[in-house]
């Protein structure tokens, strides 16, 4: 069967996760990787059995055999790599956020729209099957009118001032950390599940550590939790990106909402919570228990749906790989998102104009628009229209 020849740029912690998830689709073959250090690229290529390794992504983009590119680098490189890839006729799967500035994000969305290149952004969390189930239930009207949504995205890997990562640095990550890094997932999931858009919001942002200890040696995402670095191997640097953000907001379906985002929430390792309260019924999804969808009732006992293809809607069933009772996880969400993308590429270019069922650069621009509104609201200390 024909497979798409694809490549991965950026080999930090998420690049190899992409490689595994691409392979699990059975629809694409990773023929090249690149990293800013050629030795790292060659070592990872050997370790994962990938034929080609590049030390410069531009050389990878010049490779005529590469048909698609996954961008897994720090955020500041997303724009140039995605633009270069699309102008070279290569399809793109980009990690979120799409870019570090609105102008760059708009340009990428325009190029994608103009060229018809397949473009996707890795809002993989919406691919927990029970979030597709939740969307279908909202769309079916079984919840009634959506009155309010609430939730959080909490982690604890940046709790101490000794925790560090490129995401702290605006020159690599952009002006926002928590909102752009995990808030983007939360708002994407809420708009995906409800089918509604955030219209106005009022935000509160906090930097709990005004300075952090930056290790003199590179530290990978989440790695600072496992490695002790002596004070004489660090330098103390100022911090300008937020550890915490919360917002109250209104949606275009009349619903009201609240969200709390933090990377300093002790004990929460990577927990996204989405609650949707309707006039007849409510739903709650907790990514620490992704195989469960809680349903709340007023006039009968509450219910708990356990992920089981035989009990779920068609769209949830289509992105479930294992039978009920066999736990699926985070990497499976990427496998399902990439399966939708590569399935679309293999269907042929003539179908690119049709609406697609996976998150595209337009969704990436949408998430950045909300993130930008949160930053503006904090600056103006007022409600902001998104």
Q: What is the contact surface with ligand SOE in residues (CB under 6 A)?
A: 155, 181-182, 185, 221, 270
Chain residue whose CB lies nearest ligand SOE: 181
By beta-carbon proximity to ligand SOE, the closer residue of 181 and 275 is 181
Find the shortest distance in angstroms from Cβ 130 to ligand SOE.
17
Find the shortest distance in angstroms from Cβ 271 to ligand SOE.
10
Quick one: which H or E segment has residue 367?
Answer: helix 361-380
By beta-carbon proximity to ligand SOE, the closer residue of 45 and 125 is 125
Please tell me the distance from the alpha carbon of residue 328 to that of residue 236, in angstroms, as a whole number: 41
Find the shortest distance in angstroms from Cβ 45 to ligand SOE.
23
By beta-carbon proximity to ligand SOE, the closer residue of 3 and 270 is 270
Q: Is 169 helix (H, G, I), strand (E, B) or coil?
A: coil
Find the shortest distance in angstroms from Cβ 185 to ligand SOE.
6
Please tell me the distance from the alpha carbon of residue 255 to that of residue 252, in angstroms, as a whole number: 7
Q: Using alpha carbons, select from 101, 130, 134, 125 the residue that is nearest to residue 183.
A: 125
By beta-carbon proximity to ligand SOE, the closer residue of 158 and 316 is 158
Question: Which token pair is 218?
Answer: 């590179």
Please tell me the distance from the alpha carbon of residue 64 to that of residue 75, in angstroms, as a whole number: 25
Q: Is 179 helix (H, G, I), strand (E, B) or coil?
A: helix
Please tell me the distance from the alpha carbon of residue 382 to that of residue 203, in angstroms, as a whole number: 8
By beta-carbon proximity to ligand SOE, the closer residue of 4 and 341 is 341
By beta-carbon proximity to ligand SOE, the closer residue of 270 and 313 is 270
By beta-carbon proximity to ligand SOE, the closer residue of 241 and 282 is 241
By beta-carbon proximity to ligand SOE, the closer residue of 79 and 185 is 185
What are the residues facing 220 on neighbouring strands? none
Find the shortest distance in angstroms from Cβ 376 to ligand SOE.
23
Q: Using alpha carbons, select from 36, 295, 273, 46 the residue that is nearest to residue 172.
A: 36
Sign of torsion, CA 173 179 185 187?
Answer: negative
Question: Which token pair is 42?
Answer: 């060659």
First to last CA, the chain: 45
Find the shortest distance in angstroms from Cβ 221 to ligand SOE.
6
Find the shortest distance in angstroms from Cβ 222 to ligand SOE.
7
Find the shortest distance in angstroms from Cβ 78 to ligand SOE.
13
Find the shortest distance in angstroms from Cβ 184 to ligand SOE.
8
Ordered DSSP codes for 259-284: EEEES--TT-SSEEEEEEEESSEEEE
CA distances 44 to 19, 50, 227, 271, Å, are 11, 8, 22, 29
Question: Which token pair is 350?
Answer: 């003539």
By beta-carbon proximity to ligand SOE, the closer residue of 78 and 250 is 78
């Amino acid at each position: 069967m024909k497979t798409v020849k694809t490549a991965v740029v950026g080999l930090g912690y998420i690049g190899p996760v992409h490689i595994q998830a691409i392979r699990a689709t059975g629809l694409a073959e990773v023929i090249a990787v690149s990293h800013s250090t050629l030795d790292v690229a060659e070592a990872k290529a050997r370790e994962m059995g990938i034929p080609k390794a590049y030390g410069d992504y531009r050389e990878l983009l010049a490779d005529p055999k590469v048909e698609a590119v996954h961008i897994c680098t720090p955020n500041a490189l997303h724009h140039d790599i995605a633009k270069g890839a699309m102008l070279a006729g290569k399809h793109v799967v980009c990690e979120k956020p799409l870019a570090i500035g609105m102008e760059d994000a708009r340009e990428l969305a325009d190029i994608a729209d103009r060229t018809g290149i397949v473009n996707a952004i890795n809002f993989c969390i919406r691919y927990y099957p029970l979030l597709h189930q939740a969307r279908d239930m909202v769309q079916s009207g079984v919840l009634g009118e959506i009155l309010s949504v609430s939730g959080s995205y909490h982690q604890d890997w940046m709790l101490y001032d000794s925790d560090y990562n490129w995401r702290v640095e605006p020159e690599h990550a952009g002006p926002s950390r928590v909102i752009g890094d995990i808030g983007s997932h939360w708002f994407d999931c809420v708009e995906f599940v409800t089918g509604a858009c955030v219209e106005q919001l009022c935000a509160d942002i906090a930097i709990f550590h005004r300075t952090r200890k930056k290790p003199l040696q590179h530290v990978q995402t989440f790695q600072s939790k496992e490695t002790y670095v002596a004070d004489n191997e660090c330098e103390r640097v100022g911090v300008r990106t937020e550890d915490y953000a919360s917002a109250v907001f209104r949606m275009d379906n009349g619903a009201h909402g609240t969200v709390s985002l933090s990377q300093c929430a002790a004990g929460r390792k990577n927990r996204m919570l989405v609650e949707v309260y309707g006039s007849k019924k409510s739903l709650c999804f907790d990514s620490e228990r992704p195989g469960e969808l809680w349903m709340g009732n007023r006039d009968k006992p509450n219910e708990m749906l356990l992920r089981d293809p035989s009990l779920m809607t068609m769209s949830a069933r289509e992105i479930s790989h294992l039978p009920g009772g066999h736990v699926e996880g985070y990497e499976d969400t990427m496998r399902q998102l990439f399966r939708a993308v590569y399935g679309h590429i293999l269907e042929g270019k003539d179908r690119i104009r049709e609406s697609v069922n996976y998150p595209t650069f337009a969704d990436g621009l949408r998430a950045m628009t909300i993130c930008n509104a949160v930053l503006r609201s904090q600056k103006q200390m007022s409600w902001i229209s998104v």
